[in-house]
Amino acid sequence: MKTKTLKDFDVKGKRVIVRVDFNVPHKGEVITDDNRIMAALPTINDLTGRGAKVILLSHLGKIKTEEDKAKNDMSIVARRLAEVQPAPVVFVNATRGEELENAVRDMAEGTIVLMQNTRYEPGETKNDPELGAYWASLGDLFVEDAFGSVHRAHASTVGIPTHLPHCAGFLVQKELEVLGGALNEPKRPFVAILGGAKVSDKIGVIENLLKIADKVLIGGGMAYTFQAAEGKKIGNSLLEADKEDLAREFMEKGAGKLYLPTDTVIANDFDAPTDIRTVKAGEIPDGYMGLDIGEETIAEFKKALEGAKTVFWNGPMGVFEKPEFAKGTIEVCKALAELDDAVTIIGGGDSASAAKNLGYAEKFSHISTGGGASLEFMEGKNLPGVAVLED
């Protein structure tokens, strides 16, 4: 897909609306992870450095009640943004009206206005045409740099660019290039590793990657639905009974390329286990649940990764938040980090957290900021916020 980029525009003196993803985790007024803010800086710094008047729009959290509004006030982001880049930042505690319009009118070149949470507006998530047109009236150019939101047809992602010249920011541009390369022209062998709790969360991704990848490795909670589909014993492990037929279908389609765990680490209780052991996959006794892949599976997955030239990883191999069940995720992460001459991509979410927490983030070619958007892209879906940018 072809989209214009920042390099295609002279932005000096222009009012540039940038949709960023500042949906950062926070406790009260303390941001616990500012990665999304840092990821937006290349685009923001380029624009302010070239004399643009930069108007930033983002959502923060889910807004259903007045309590949600108070909890997800964008002012905490404004403070952090002012600390991590040199341009002056003005926070406007409004999403429309005179205060916002005056702040935009009074902007000097190379400065930033950060607007209040876009989801304070009920019309944001409904892509209200009037709201999209109003926000567009504040600017001269629209830049999409929130890859984590491009799978949503919202007023700030789809509504605004229908009224203004538009382009992709550096972050979105990189995501499209890296993920698009893996999807359309992967260096082979191409190995996909999919984990996480549910088959239902990854149906489209599994389906699409079974067509494209040379190997698809399945771990995490969803592996037990595949084992149940084979008539094996999974004890009290996570199961989506209504997805067993689908799992059987995937196993038939993926014969020879779909890899499932051959052993599993089990425990007699999730919160306070007193008995943890490893058993063969499909031999989990009643009263026990599978919570990680075992040593044998780790070795097999590592062997399957040997010589890989492209790897896409999304989803942990077990309950990696608990040290007793983190080994599978740690070992897979380590194996990917040590691959030579390979394009290694993490599709956001828990896998990204694992890589960062384990200190391997710098070893990966690309860690997507998208999460849900990355998965939908890898499914081959049309992302509304990207489609509207296409030339």
pLDDT digits (tens, 9 = 90+) for 206-240: 999 999 999 999 999 999 999 999 999 999 999 99
- In angstroms, what CA-CA distances link 194 with 54, 275, 373? 38, 27, 16
How much is the pLDDT for 306? 96
How much is the pLDDT for 188? 97
| Domain definitions of the chain by residue range | 6-171, 178-378
End-to-end CA distance of the chain: 8
Q: 178-378 maps to which CATH number?
A: 3.40.50.1260
- Strands of the sheet containing 276-280, edge to edge, are 276-280, 263-267, 289-293
Q: Is the pLDDT of residue 385 over 80?
A: yes
pLDDT band, very low/low/confident/very high, at 356 (cuts 50, 70, 90)? confident
Kindly state the average pLDDT of the residues 156-183: 96
Q: Give the range among 125-134, 295-304, 340-349 with minimum mean pLDDT.
A: 340-349
How much is the pLDDT for 289? 98
Q: Is the pLDDT of residue 351 over 90?
A: no
pLDDT band, very low/low/confident/very high, at 181 (cuts 50, 70, 90)? very high
Kindly state the average pLDDT of the residues 67-95: 97
* Catalytic residue, candidates 14, 15, 19, 36: 36
pLDDT band, very low/low/confident/very high, at 353 (cuts 50, 70, 90)? confident
Indicate if 178-378 has the same CATH topology as 6-171: yes
Sign for the CA dihedral angle at 221, 222, 227, 228 comes to: positive
Kindly state the average pLDDT of the residues 337-362: 90
* Catalytic residue, candidates 220, 235, 315, 349: 349
- CA-nearest of 205, 201, 246, 242 to 221 is 201
13 tagged catalytic: no
State how far the Cα of 381 lies from the Cα of 373, in Å rounded to an integer. Answer: 9
254 tagged catalytic: no
Q: Is 344 helix (H, G, I), strand (E, B) or coil?
A: strand
The answer to whether 40 and 34 are in contact (CB under 8 A) is no
How much is the pLDDT for 130? 98
Q: Is the pLDDT of residue 92 over 80?
A: yes
* Catalytic residue, candidates 4, 69, 174, 198: 198
Kindly state the average pLDDT of the residues 38-51: 98
pLDDT band, very low/low/confident/very high, at 119 (cuts 50, 70, 90)? very high
Kindly state the average pLDDT of the residues 176-205: 94
- Kindly report the average pLDDT of the chain as a whole number: 95
Task: For the beta carbon of residue 176, count every other beta carbon within 10 angstroms.
Answer: 20
* Catalytic residue, candidates 123, 181, 372, 380: 372
Q: Is 249 helix (H, G, I), strand (E, B) or coil?
A: helix
36 tagged catalytic: yes
CATH topology of domain 6-171: Rossmann fold (3.40.50)
Q: Is the pLDDT of residue 71 over 90?
A: yes
pTM here is 0.90
Kindly state the average pLDDT of the residues 312-332: 95
Q: Is the pLDDT of residue 350 over 90?
A: no
Q: Is the pLDDT of residue 1 over 80?
A: no
How much is the pLDDT for 391? 66
State how far the Cα of 164 lies from the Cα of 143, in Å rounded to an integer. Answer: 10
The answer to whether 124 and 154 are in contact (CB under 8 A) is yes
